[in-house]
Structure 1
Amino acid sequence: MEKFQPRYFTPREVSAHARPGDLWVSYLGRVYDLSPLVRQHKGDVLLRPILEAAGKDISHWFNPKTRDIQTHVDPLTGCVKYYTPQGRFIHIPPQLPCSDWANDFGLPWWKDSKYEVGILASKTRRVRIVNTLTSQEHVLEVCAEESMWEILRRYLPHNAHAASYTWKYEGVNLDMDKTLEQNKIPDEDAEFYRLNLDTDLYTPGILLYFNDDLTEF
């Protein structure tokens, strides 16, 4: 069976990939797996800033309008150069012309779509899923943009037959092709912040009712 590839990732999921052999970062709303880049340049001192950024969002490295690395005017040369206060890294040219720098790598890694694995959630939400057959409850952190089918797939480790259930909120069957918001499951975070209340005090509950078949992903 073909493995399901999520479209969206939470910052927490990105942060779990923080080792040299399994290194993800996010920037400008996208998630990237830089593990192949790290393997290709193993031992290169220019990997240091990337290794230090493992599992983090590095959008501040970029100009959001150009989607390229931030630039500044070099005080030594008066030329516009990449601005890398975190240290020069792979595919950034040296400050001064250098004969031993190979510039035949093609696209710099931050412009190469082959490293992209998905979209960073613009917001995450917590939902409480209650199996009415077993009375088991699980709280999931999900991406606000995800459809209910995608949320169902997040829940599969807790219940391999999750698709054999009817999913309901406040007695209404959920449209599995729509998001939580589109299913009228409101996001109360803004109101809780306004009232200076802990957002974890209330987590919307979705009830699962067994359909008496054994659909399995």
Structure 2
Amino acid sequence: MDFCSMIRTHIDPTTGCKIAYTPHGRFIHIPPSFPRTDWANDFGRPWWKDDSYCVGILSKKTRFIKIINTLTSQEQVIEVCSEEIMSEILDRYVTYNAHAASYTWKYNGKNLEMDKTLEDNTVSDEDEEFYKLSMNDDDFLPAIHLYFNDDLTEA
């Protein structure tokens, strides 16, 4: 059974065999650590390889951004995926401001293009640089500023 590609494994110190790493106990479709005659392995595809259970796509990298509403001075820090475009970020930000679409989104004084990612909008990810410099990147989050358009026609 090939569970190595999706389930974390380790070398069992007792047997020296590669087995599933399940520190909180086995779960469905995980074979026992030792050979057993009462374990049926005829269940077909294990659940973690069943595409019908897919609830999302794993991001290459996530990052935190600060969104500042210049009208109310409220700030929200949210985690976003590197693949998300600005309109998708706006859709998630609506929980904090129902009229977020009535704002102009800017970074460093430039309007952001809502059909592009943060990187495409020159909002660079400097996490690696902060790591190399042993700096806390939480103190230097890129700030997206929202400017009210005085147009509540968009909900």
TM-score between the two structures when normalised by the length of structure 2: 0.77
Inter-partner Cα distance in structure 1 for 2:110 and 2:72: 20
CA contact (8 A) 1:148 1:176 kept: yes
Identical-residue share of aligned pairs (%): 58
Q: Give the one of 45, 49, 55 matched to 1:111.
A: 49
Q: Given the two structures, how large is their TM-score scaled by the length of structure 1? A: 0.57
1:63 aligns with 2:4: yes
Separation in 2 of the partners of 1:93 and 1:140?
A: 39
SS class of match (2:105)? strand
Shift of 1:182: 1.0
Indicate the SS of the match to 1:158: coil
Conserved 8 A contact 2:90-2:100: yes
Residue 215 of structure 1 pairs with residue 151 of structure 2: no
Classify 1:187/1:114 alpha carbon distance in 2 versus 1 (closer, same or farther; 3 Å). same
Structure 1 partner of 2:67: 129
User: Which string of whole-angstrom CA distances, capped at 9 and with x for unpartnered residues, describes residues 54-78 of structure 1?
Assistant: xxxxxxx9534xx577598xx99xx
Q: Size of the alignment, in residue pairs?
A: 147
Partners in 2 of 1:149 and 1:205 — Cα distance?
16
Residue in structure 1 matching 2:86, options 148, 158, 162: 148
Partner-residue secondary structure (3-state), 1:163: helix
Which residue pairs with 2:19 in the alignment? 83
Instruction: Please state how far the C-alpha of 1:84 moved relative to its aligned partner.
Output: 2.4
Which residues of structure 1 form unaligned runs of 5+?
1-60
- How far, CA to CA, are the matches of 1:126 and 1:187 in structure 2? 9
Which protein is richer in helix relative to its size? 1
Determine whether 1:164 maps to 2:68: no
Alpha carbons 1:167, 1:207 under 8 Å: kept: yes
CA RMSD of aligned residues (A): 2.9
Change in CA separation of 1:93 and 1:181 when aligned onto 2, cut-off 3 Å:
same
